Amino acid sequence: MDIISPNNPRAKEWAQLLEKKHRTRQHKYIIEGIHLVQEALLARADIECIAFDLDNGIPPELAAVEPPEAPVEWVGVSSAVIAKCSDTKTPQPVFAIIRKQEQPFEALLNATGEMVIVLDGVQDPGNVGTIIRSADASGAAGVILGQGCADVYNPKTIRSTMGSLFHLPVAEGNLAELLPLAKSRGAKLVSTSLQAKFSCYSYNFSDGAWIVIGNEGQGISRETAELVDDAVLIPMEGQAESLNAAMASTILLFEAMRQRKFRE
């Protein structure tokens, strides 16, 4: 059934997903735009429904995707409903409601010989989303967000992932519990430091590592720092004091990829 009024109970429930407390309560989140919805379809995400602008119809890029095994509900909606459920000034003509999946902790804890990126208090949604995208591009096994990080299901975070959220495991959890468990299974924890004795280009990432990236202004927490095995320095030639969390993560992930995949 088409939904025209933004006061429709279902439209109101969708719009609530723009707030974290309702995403937590409903155990769902919202994604906007043809590209993200297409990525969700291709990844066989647990899609509850896809809402499209009645004036434009179902985007051909989405109609062309092979239907998932589980049926997806398609709902025609008015531009007013789209505006109500959008986080942007210029709303996209389609959005989808996705059911959250179980946290993939076990898969990540078993990835001790791979690259895993761990975020400790990274608060900027754009940084978190970009790091997820870089982790995907560099072939990392997954991303773990500790307490104090931006919500992975924040619409700004999701947009910054450019669909990479659907390509690799991303989990939110308590680092004080997860990191000791990972170390007990053989994971090596590596952070960045201006006082580090290793350059990231001389450090050996070939056996895998869990790279720990801290808060944009304060770095990793004291509790996390006590668990770290090694620290590396990203050399800089210019006058910039530092790199933001997303840039630092990307450099380390791609240096690790170079060492592990392009040795010749």
Looking at 81, 99, 117, the residue that finishes a domain is: 99
Domain that includes residue 129, residue range: 105-261
Looking at 99, 119, 148, the residue that finishes a domain is: 99
pTM for this model (two decimals):
0.94
DSSP state of 102: P
DSSP state of 7: T
Which pair of tokens denotes residue 171?
Answer: 């989990």
* Banded pLDDT at 128 (limits 50, 70, 90): very high
CATH of the domain at 74: 3.30.1330.30
Both 135 and 192 in a single domain?
yes
pLDDT at 264: 57
pLDDT tens digits, 20-48: 999 999 999 999 999 999 999 999 999 99
> For residue 175, what are the contacts with CB-CB under 8 A and spacing of at least 6?
118, 120, 144, 146, 147, 223, 224
In a domain? residue 157: yes
In a domain? residue 4: no
Residue type at position 109 = L
What are the Cα distances from residue 113, in Å, to 29, 177, 263?
Answer: 32, 20, 17
Mean pLDDT computed over 100-110: 89
CB of 136 closer than 8 Å to CB of 253: no
In a domain? residue 1: no
Beta-sheet pairing, 47-53 with 189-192: unpaired
Both 176 and 240 in a single domain?
yes
Both 23 and 142 in a single domain?
no
How far is Cα 104 from Cα 116, in angstroms, rounded to an integer?
13
Q: How many other C-beta atoms can be found within 10 angstroms of the C-beta atom of residue 87? A: 15
Mean pLDDT computed over 181-201: 92
- Among 10-14, 54-58, 87-91, the range scoring the smallest mean pLDDT is 87-91
Tally the domains of the chain: 2
In a domain? residue 198: yes
Looking at 68, 99, 130, the residue that finishes a domain is: 99
In a domain? residue 3: no
Both 199 and 224 in a single domain?
yes
Mean pLDDT computed over 180-192: 95
Give the residue from 26, 70, 62 showing the smallest Cα distance to 44. Answer: 70
Q: What is the residue-averaged pLDDT of the chain?
A: 94
Both 137 and 257 in a single domain?
yes
